[in-house]
Amino acid sequence: MEAAEYRGLLEEGLSALGVAAEPAGLEAVLRHLDLVRVWNERMNLTAITEPREMVIKHALDSAAGLAVLGLAPGQRVLDVGTGAGFPGVVWKCLVPGIELTLLESLQKRCRFLEEVGESVVRPLTGGEGYQVVSGRAEDMGRKTEHRERYDVVTARAVAELRVLAEYCLPFAQVGGRFLAMKGPSVGEEILAAERAVAMLGGKVEEVRQLELPGGGGRRSLVLIRKVKPTPKGYPRRAGVPAKSPL
C-alpha cells in the first residue's frame, strides 16, 4: 500500500467512526504501526502485518473505543495487557493530553513500548503523560499506586469478561469506567459475567456494537461503570482469575 493510501484509509476510517484526529496524531498512529512491523521481525507482537489490515484491525479497531468513551485531556487511562500498545498508544496519539499507563507482563514487549514512547509519543507530547509498567494485573491491582487510581481502564482481546473484570475493575476509581473491547458475539459472555461485575463494584452501562470501516468486521464495546469500591480480596493471586473465574 502506498503511504498516501495508507494515511487516507486511516483518516477516512476515523471519520466514519466519528473520531476526530489532528494531522500530528495521524502521523503518530502511522509511526506506531511502522514500529510494530519493524520490531515484529524479531519478536512476536502481532500476527497481522499487512499494512491495510494493520490500519483496520489495529488502529481503527483501537480508535473505535474513543467513540464510546469521549476521552478528555488530563484523564488517567490504563491499558491492561496492552501487548504492542493497542488500544492505548492509538488513544494517546489521537488524544495526546491523556495520562496513559500501559501495563504489560512481558519484559520484551515493555522494551518495545518504551521505544514507542521515545519514537512516537515524545515527538508528539515531549514524552509527557506516558509510562510503561511491567507486571501482571493481579499483582499491580493490589498496589496502592495503581488500585482505584484511574478514570478509564481498558483491555482488548485479553480474556473472557468474567476474568477481564477481575483484572481491570480494581484499577478504576469509583465513578470511573472500564471498557472491554470484544468480538461480535458478546451477549452470553455479558450474562455470565453479571455476578462477577457486581461483586467487583461495577455495573454494565452500555454495550455498543459497530462495524469497523474497510470491512474489518463487527465489534462489541462493553462499557462498565465503577459504582462502588472493589472488595479487598480482589484481584485474587496471579493465575487464579483465569483458572477459576468468578
What cell does 181 get? 473491547
What cell does 61 get? 479497531
pLDDT in tens, 27-47: 999 999 999 999 999 998 999
CATH 3.40.50.620 fits 3-243, yes or no: no
Q: Which residue has the higher pLDDT, 238 or 158?
A: 238
pLDDT at position 72 over 50? yes
Do 141 and 167 touch, CB atoms closer than 8 A?
yes
- Between CA 84 and CA 40 the distance in angstroms is 9
Do 213 and 171 touch, CB atoms closer than 8 A?
no
pLDDT at position 1 over 50? no
pLDDT score recorded for residue 2: 57
Reported as a pLDDT band with limits 50, 70 and 90, residue 184 is: confident
Reported as a pLDDT band with limits 50, 70 and 90, residue 185 is: confident
pTM, two decimals, is: 0.95
What cell does 207 get? 454495550
Domain boundaries, given as residue ranges, for the chain: 3-243
- Between CA 1 and CA 30 the distance in angstroms is 13
Pairing state of beta strands 76-80 and 172-182? unpaired
Asked if the peptide bond before residue 170 counts as cis, ω within 30 degrees of 0, the response is no
